[in-house]
Structure 1
Amino acid sequence: MEDPSELDQAQELRLTDCPSWLYLLREFDTLYRHGSAGGSRLIRSHRKRVRDTLSSIIDSNPCVLPRPVSAKPVTGHLMRALDLGEKGVVHGMARALSRVADKLTWEYGYEKVPNSLKNKYAYCEVLGPRGPVMADRLILGFVLFGPRTTYPQHSHQEIEESYISVSGAWSENDTAVHAPGSLILNRPGDEHRITTADLEPCLLAYAWTGPETRLSAPGMKLSSNRKARMARGI
């Protein structure tokens, strides 16, 4: 059977033509369908919103438009993060991501990236307005952090965001240590700052929900140093 990645690009690809992408999205569905809300009404509602929207998108058999493969310095840690993930509670997601690792478009998302972050951070979108799996009502992807990373204070206008740990330990706003399988919800406008462990990379799956106009142009910005310090009570 011919590999969809080798088909003539003039031929329109659909999700069912690309099993590796389909299985990866099903792993997202599993995480948001069977994970715990920890008794939180807000998290329970967010989980339902993500999985209902994702189910509708999968049922529509959306277009798949391969994007140019792009790496960043931090992607040198990806294989280690996947190795750790395959040994943990989110092993299905880690394994499914490994099947498309050579097709990912890693990027920064900011016009200006601090020098301290260029070698320690990148993200890749797998479903959303820019593809590769096309959707306008939901964005799914992954964020990769190197060891001993501080991802500065930031927020997202009109976008509700959740992270689910695939591998590695991390902290948000210095309030707790989160292990693989845990979920963090950031409501629109919530300021948040991420730090990672000293010796291992951290891989997070993320979901964004919000207005279609905002998802297509999220306008990602890091908070100013003064605003970040005020948010942390410094």
Structure 2
Amino acid sequence: MTDDFAPRPHLRDHPDWRYLLQEYYELYRYLPSGGSTRIRAHQRHVREAIGRVLKANPLIQTQPPATKPVTAHLKRALDEGRGDRMGPMIRAFESVQADLSWQYGYEKVPKGLVGSYAYAEIAGPQGPVVTEDIILGVVLFGPGCTYPAHAHRGITESYVCLSGAVSENHQGVYVPGSMIFNPPEHLHRITVGMNEPALLAYAWMGARDDLLDQKMVFTRKRKDDVR
């Protein structure tokens, strides 16, 4: 006897993954847009995409769990976020964290990032929640991390800070409950406070071909291009 014909697991079979998607939906429903029509439209598009995923009841396709050196800071990041307004999201994330596959996303990782950065996808073409409508995930930065300048072709990106504090392009500080919005091709660099890690949820929106073919590449620019 084999399991070749066993039913494949779907989202409704795994409530913890469904609850996590619902928390993403709530983030993009209630976080303020600061009066920006572009950010408000992005928030709506993310909610609509998550709504389609929830309705479609897609496959759950987990990868083998994997850690990276920076995940040694994950407990601290979760502890710091649990008591804040991001608590419901943190608790939903904790319920699936044992099944996450933390990745670098680059064929050649800059030496300075090896111990201070990793991301884990929650939904996307590669799973764990299999969809081509959106990519959702979390990124963990260690204390003092500088994430080099980069841009995304055809992708509208947003981060929601869950714990810690970060700055993008040295233009303001983002703390739990803050959203960072990056339109396509926008060059951005992230820096992290020296004393605490930072955990951010992210959403990528774009055409399906762009989501399927997105490559993680750093952009080399003159020093005065990003300040």
Distance 1:40 1:9, change over 3 A: farther
Query: Which consecutive unaligned segments of at least 5 residues does structure 1 have?
Result: 1-6
CA distance, structure 1, for counterparts of residue 56 and residue 43 of structure 2: 20
CA distance, structure 2, for counterparts of residue 89 and residue 229 of structure 1: 37
Counting aligned pairs with the same residue, the percent is 46
Q: Is 1:207 matched up with 2:209?
A: no
Secondary structure, counterpart of 1:229 in structure 2 = coil
Q: Is 1:232 matched up with 2:226?
A: yes
- After TM superposition, the structure 1 = structure 2 runs for residues 76-225 of structure 1, keeping only pairs within 5 Å, are 76-224=72-220
Per-residue deviation, 1:11: 2.8
CA distance, structure 2, for counterparts of residue 100 and residue 51 of structure 1: 21
Per-residue deviation, 1:63: 0.8
1:25-81 Cα shifts (integer Å, max 9, x gaps): 000000001111110000000000000111011011111112111100001111111
Per-residue deviation, 1:8: 9.3
Query: Any runs of at least 4 consecutive aligned residues in structure 1 with deviations exceeding 3 A, and if so which?
Result: 7-10
Q: TM-score, normalised by structure 1?
A: 0.93
CA distance, structure 1, for counterparts of residue 190 and residue 153 of structure 2: 18
Query: Which consecutive unaligned segments of at least 5 residues does structure 2 have?
Result: none
Q: Is 1:47 matched up with 2:43?
A: yes
Taking only aligned residues, the RMSD between alpha carbons, in angstroms, comes to: 1.4
Match of 2:28 in 1: 32
CA distance, structure 2, for counterparts of residue 184 and residue 90 of structure 1: 15
1:58-110 Cα shifts (integer Å, max 9, x gaps): 01111111211110000111111111110111111111111111100100111
CA distance, structure 1, for counterparts of residue 5 and residue 114 of structure 2: 32
1:173-225 Cα shifts (integer Å, max 9, x gaps): 0011111000010000000000001111000000000011111121110111x
Per-residue deviation, 1:9: 9.7
Which AA in structure 2 matches 1:207?
Answer: A
CA distance, structure 2, for counterparts of residue 17 and residue 229 of structure 1: 50
Q: TM-score, normalised by structure 2?
A: 0.96
Contact preservation (8 Å) 1:153, 1:228: no
